[in-house]
Amino acid sequence: MFIYFKQQECKHISFEVNLMEKQGSLLVGLMWGASLSIPLWLAFFGWIKLILQFI
């Protein structure tokens, strides 16, 4: 990531991610994703089924 200041200096900022500390976040993210996506897919297929009944 580069940040440009008024004097047009370019300073490089590096972001370091320690994966060993963040491994629990992956499991939490997967649980949230599954808990939100499954009801959305069920609703989507429910709407498709409802629409196809009227066609």
SS3 of the chain: the string is: CEEECCCCCEEECCCCCCCCCCHHHHHHHHHHHHHHHHHHHHHHHHHHHHHHHHC
Q: Where are the domains of the chain?
A: 23-55
pLDDT band at 55 (very low <50, low <70, confident <90, very high): confident
Q: What is the pLDDT of residues 11-42, one digit of tens each?
A: 555 555 555 556 678 888 899 999 999 999 99
Position 19 scores a pLDDT of 53
pTM, to two decimals: 0.47
Q: Which of 12, 52, 45, 33 is nearest to 1 (CA)?
A: 12
